[in-house]
Structure 1
Amino acid sequence: MKTFKFLPIAVAVATSIASFSALVADDIEALTERIQALEAQSDPDLALKFTGYARYGARYAGGDSELVGIGSTGVAVGRLGNEANGGEFQFTKGFKTDSGMLWDVAIMLDHWESSDWGSEGGANVKKFYASGTNIFESQPGLRIWGGRDFHQRPQQGLNDYMWLAHDGQGAGFDNLDLGGAKFNLAFVGQVSDNGGALGNDNGKYAITSKLHGIDAGIGNLDLYFNYGFASDQAGTALEDENSWVAGAMLGLGSSNKIIAKYADGADNSAFDLAGDKKVMYVSLEGGVNPSENVFVDYLLSYKDISGDDATEQSEYSAIVRPMYNWNSVHSTWLEAGYAMVDQDAGGDQEGWKVTLSQNISMGGLPWSRPMVRFYATFGDVETTDASSVTTNVDTASLGAMFEAWW
């Protein structure tokens, strides 16, 4: 009898379990279809992106100076094993309108131990801007931007030199298609340091322009022209000052290029407003790949500084970096650099550096990152003043660091 009494209950429970299982199956199927639909509609341009560049490590220095520094063209004897710690960290969020316009908002914070790379405040707000593309039907690639940005800072690799630098805040546009070339134009104000690049613009301004993507037959040609000026906010000493900087970059095939620049009242930035100062800079850089495992990068440069408000001098630099990739993980680099500064008033400087680096990276190639390096650096800078008194500053260091861009 007890078996018959419990039978209806068992049937009810079994029916409930079966119904629940069917319901769960239906819910999972619906959820799966919903996820698939969302994935089909997703746009990678709209995702929150984290990008940046960083290098950090420890260096044991046994010489007079931790780094080998000479001249005014970045790290004129080569950057390998001769760099400051720091990084730049950016977050970007994309948006898309029903009409197809693409917008993004980005913020970048940076930190550098060297004031040559950042302000004295350490952590800086280097970027905070909004930009949009596909706004005009006739110019879908035209980018309109406003805010604070890294702006017109073409940079060379082996010497870590920005031969133009106009970081600031303002507005402008990029990639106006003229047919056969594209055009950039912007109005930017230099940002006051104020303990971490956290201030407003300081009264120094620049109109910047770039005509790029010109087919010169042997490679692409980019042309730059920038004009600098000041408002009353910059102070009476600068109210009548102005400057201009013109430059060109010509590609030679796929991996070599010539850079030429001339500035009046400035060096590499129209913000300089440096009075009677004239700077000419030319360089040849690139790389060759003699075999599957061997790469050689090089850079040669010459800079001349003249004018009543300048220390008149000529600067020369040569850097070569042969690299051997053992496999997709391990590589060995040797970088050697020489630089000289010859002052018109008498006196000169000569410097050299050699770095041997053993690397572990994701890919093993020269551009593969992230990379962990173990290196030894040796160098020397000899300075002779106008009265022929000579001093030496030597460098001998061992270090370990990582470098990455993402």
Structure 2
Amino acid sequence: MKNFKLLPVSIAVAATLASASSFAADDVASLEQRIQELEAKVVTLDYVDDQQQSALTSETPAPLGIVFSGYARYGAAYQEGDSKYVSVGSTGAAVGRLGNEMNGGEFQLGKVFETESGQKWNVAVMLDHWSGEGWGNGLALKKFYAGASNIFESQPDLYVWAGRDFHQRPQQGLNDYFWMSHDGQGGGFQNFDFGGAKFDLGFVGQVNGEYDDENGNYAITSKLHSIDAGIGNLDLYANYGFTSEKVDSSETAFLLGATLGLGSSNKLVMKYGDGADNSVFELAGDKQVVYVSLEGGVNPSDKVFIDYLASYKDISGKDATEASEYSAIVRPMYNWDDTHSTWLEAGVGMVDYADDGEDQAWKVTLSQNISMGGLPWSRPMLRFYATVGDVESKGTNVPTTNVDTLTLGAMFEAWW
């Protein structure tokens, strides 16, 4: 969501002109000064689409008007094979997301305010729409929250919030995997500065689909971040899940995680869950999950970019389907100019079950792209692509099955 575009200042100017029948010379000069003040407030906010919870700092500008932002991808895919998508395991699009994504989008309206004393406030509402199995259908109220920063002199960037919001959902790119997610409604704070590290703390209730109230599952979430580890930035996560008396269960869960930057363009991700995989809301009983991944990219020349991701997950416990999962994805990209690019994404994935069963998958997608900027992260982007792949499942006393994919598609993707 880069470069939010705001409502034009002409609306405010027109309203001013309509409110007066005539102007003296002094009135015209006063009006011109007012217009300049309004134009000065029409600014462009820079925001990176990392799917994290929103937060203001003491330096965030307070632009005039409503900020419209979002993320969306929609298109058509002609399916020739057994399946339109190649799916294996539980780590998102484990064989790669390019040409392997369902339609949907998130659409947000927000407003930033600034008081005379310098406090920064924001209010935002988001509706989302995702289609396909596993996503649900129709519009949903994903966000409705308010927050403020610069409310404590000793902690100007401390952001205090309450409401419904994205919450602690670190995401990986090539596999479109939220390896942790605690979206819900509650409250907390972000960016308490210890000097050398910042701390976030939240209390969040899980919301069931179309229902507007919590379902009785709760999480206490925390994050210690922005730690300079020498070789890169270090972030630490610790979360605890539990229930209220509304739920007939005494299950609890905890989930720990860490990300470590390795130089400027590589990252190591690690997590351990007890009673949880991606969220302590799961309260999954005797289930333990270990996940490790390495991701990043290299830029051999001005026109060539290569992104990669490799991951391993181990799932164990008497309440779990015990298995080990492996995934590797590579995406070389060539930018012909500032508009056209060609991408090739190849991925393999395997699930090795404890009962000797096994799933093996592969996928290759070739995509010709038109974008506003030509770089890998430039959006909006139009994609015209072809995807081929296969998932083979086999096991003891189980017939071997193959699900093949051959898909031709056209899709746009944008964040703004």
- Separation of aligned partners in 1, 2:225 and 2:134: 28
Q: Identity over aligned residues, as a percent?
A: 68
Match of 1:203 in 2: 216
User: Pairwise mapping of residues 124-203 of structure 1 onto structure 2 (< 5 A)?
Assistant: 124-193=140-209, 196=210, 198-203=211-216
- Separation of aligned partners in 2, 1:278 and 1:200: 29
Deviations 1:200-250 (A, max 9, x none): 11000000000001111100100000000011212x2x2x10000000000
Task: Give the alignment's TM-score, normalised by structure 1.
Answer: 0.90
Q: Is the Cα–Cα contact under 8 Å of residues 130 and 137 in structure 2 kept in the other structure?
A: no
Query: Residue 255 of structure 1: CA displacement?
Result: 0.8
Query: Residue 386 of structure 1: CA displacement?
Result: 2.6
- Separation of aligned partners in 2, 1:115 and 1:270: 23
Equivalent residue for 1:357, pick from 352, 367, 370: 367
Match of 2:102 in 1: 84
Flag the structure with higher helix content.
1
Equivalent residue for 2:301, pick from 286, 291, 307: 291
Q: Is the Cα–Cα contact under 8 Å of residues 347 and 387 in structure 1 kept in the other structure?
A: no
Task: Give the alignment's TM-score, normalised by structure 2.
Answer: 0.88
Q: Is the Cα–Cα contact under 8 Å of residues 302 and 316 in structure 1 kept in the other structure?
A: yes
- Separation of aligned partners in 2, 1:103 and 1:133: 7
- What secondary structure, in the 3-state scheme, does the structure 1 residue paired with 2:186 have? strand
Query: Residue 33 of structure 1: CA displacement?
Result: 2.7
Q: Is the Cα–Cα contact under 8 Å of residues 127 and 149 in structure 1 kept in the other structure?
A: yes
Q: Is the Cα–Cα contact under 8 Å of residues 41 and 62 in structure 2 kept in the other structure?
A: no
- What secondary structure, in the 3-state scheme, does the structure 1 residue paired with 2:278 have? coil
- Separation of aligned partners in 1, 2:318 and 2:23: 86
Query: Residue 389 of structure 1: CA displacement?
Result: 1.9
Q: Is the Cα–Cα contact under 8 Å of residues 131 and 137 in structure 2 kept in the other structure?
A: no
User: Pairwise mapping of residues 177-256 of structure 1 onto structure 2 (< 5 A)?
Assistant: 177-193=193-209, 196=210, 198-234=211-247, 236=248, 238=249, 240-256=250-266
Q: Is the Cα–Cα contact under 8 Å of residues 91 and 175 in structure 2 kept in the other structure?
A: yes
Tell me the amino acid that sits aligned with residue 222 of structure 1: D
Equivalent residue for 1:327, pick from 324, 337, 351: 337
- 1:371 and 2:376 are equivalent in the alignment: no
Match of 2:35 in 1: 35
Query: Residue 387 of structure 1: CA displacement?
Result: 1.4
Tell me the amino acid that sits aligned with residue 94 of structure 2: A
Query: Residue 388 of structure 1: CA displacement?
Result: 4.7
- Separation of aligned partners in 2, 1:79 and 1:349: 18
Q: Larger Cα Rg: Structure 1 or Structure 2?
A: 1
- Separation of aligned partners in 2, 1:383 and 1:343: 11
Q: Is the Cα–Cα contact under 8 Å of residues 107 and 128 in structure 2 kept in the other structure?
A: yes
- Separation of aligned partners in 1, 2:154 and 2:23: 53
Deviations 1:239-287 (A, max 9, x none): x100000000000111100000000001010100000000000000000
Tell me the amino acid that sits aligned with residue 108 of structure 2: Q
- Separation of aligned partners in 1, 2:159 and 2:359: 45
- Separation of aligned partners in 1, 2:307 and 2:41: 44
- Separation of aligned partners in 1, 2:222 and 2:257: 10
- Separation of aligned partners in 1, 2:104 and 2:155: 38
- What secondary structure, in the 3-state scheme, does the structure 2 residue paired with 1:190 have? strand
CA RMSD of aligned residues (A): 1.5
Q: Is the Cα–Cα contact under 8 Å of residues 352 and 381 in structure 1 kept in the other structure?
A: yes
Query: Residue 121 of structure 1: CA displacement?
Result: 4.4
Distance 1:23 1:173, change over 3 A: closer
- Separation of aligned partners in 1, 2:328 and 2:25: 70
- What secondary structure, in the 3-state scheme, does the structure 2 residue paired with 1:36 have? helix
Deviations 1:176-211 (A, max 9, x none): 001110000000000011xx3x42110000000000
Q: Is the Cα–Cα contact under 8 Å of residues 189 and 204 in structure 1 kept in the other structure?
A: yes
- Separation of aligned partners in 2, 1:64 and 1:168: 36
- Separation of aligned partners in 2, 1:274 and 1:282: 20
- Separation of aligned partners in 2, 1:38 and 1:45: 12
- Separation of aligned partners in 2, 1:121 and 1:56: 14
Query: Residue 101 of structure 1: CA displacement?
Result: 0.6
